[in-house]
Chain A
């Protein structure tokens, strides 16, 4: 399977869609997310089980593989950090 992404903006769109789908957030709410929007600890919907679902769904949609030892608090701290992490895996 070959997945080609035009750039970070497409990864960002995917991360937004995954957060909306998994956490059951409205499109308006995720559309308002900026790079500084805090995620883990700030969104009550994002508990540890939801983290697992978000990461696995990102793997499926972006065709990436996230190693268990890469999962830490920093990548989930803000929306920008999560997009950056996903882009670093997808845009190689």
Chain B
């Protein structure tokens, strides 16, 4: 199994940690986890995909974006705008032949980056994210401390405004959208599996990870040829 390496990257707002897998040359994948609770439920799964990709000869990075992972930016000061800037600047530093790989709301970070292509699993809009945050608040019947308190996360009004209008990249260039078979929305390809991002306890799906890594690696090869 491919070993991971711990690294950092600098962006105009500071320094963040990132994991690296596989080769540093050739096509490089920037992987993006979803926002908030779904990141915890899909991190191990995404790392499994990246290890598999390395075995296919494709290197990748999994950056902490400001306000996520080990970042010192606190949740209440996190903005999608800054996360997009950090992603864009990281892509610039990595060079050419950079591909975005995202799960769910991870597709919202790469909109301003110059990428050779984008591969998205079950992409969602910022409005979808907000609706699920609201739903979690209603279901928990929590006494609302303020209207920016979401199931234990305090989000800034700026972050909520950023999300309200955020959609995945809709410009030109190669884009492949994958979804689960249980999802009725359109997709380039669908796979039968359970949605790990909604699991009440974090889990992994190594079989699906292998299938998706295979899909991503073939797709990148077709983009490069």
Contact yes or no, B184 A49, CB < 8 A: no
Q: How distant is B116 from chain A, measured CB to nearest CB, in Å? A: 31
**Minimum Cβ distance to chain A for residue B223 (Å):** 29
Residue-wise interface mask of B (95-132) relative to A, using a CB-CB cutoff of 8 A (1 in contact, 0 not): 00000000000000000000000000000000000011
Question: Which residues of chain B have C-beta atoms less than 8 A from A1's C-beta?
Answer: 184-185
Q: Is A17 an interface residue (CB 8 A)?
A: yes
In the assembled complex, A41 has its CB within 8 A of some CB on chain B: no
Bound complex: CA A51 to CA B37 (Å):
14
Chain B interface size band reads: 20 to 34
- B183: chain A residues at CB < 8 Å are 60-61
Residues of chain B in range 166-221 having any CB-CB distance to chain A below 8 Å: 182-185, 194-195, 198-201, 203
Contacts of A24 in B (CB 8 A): 199-201, 203
B binding-site residues for A, Cβ under 8 Å: 37, 131-132, 134-136, 138-141, 151, 182-185, 194-195, 198-201, 203
> Does the CB pair A51–B201 fall under 8 Å?
no
Interface footprint category on A: 20 to 34
A-B contact pairs, 18 of them (CB 8 A): A21-B199, A24-B200, A47-B200, A48-B141, A49-B37, A49-B200, A52-B135, A52-B138, A52-B139, A53-B200, A56-B132, A56-B135, A56-B198, A57-B195, A60-B182, A60-B184, A61-B183, A68-B138
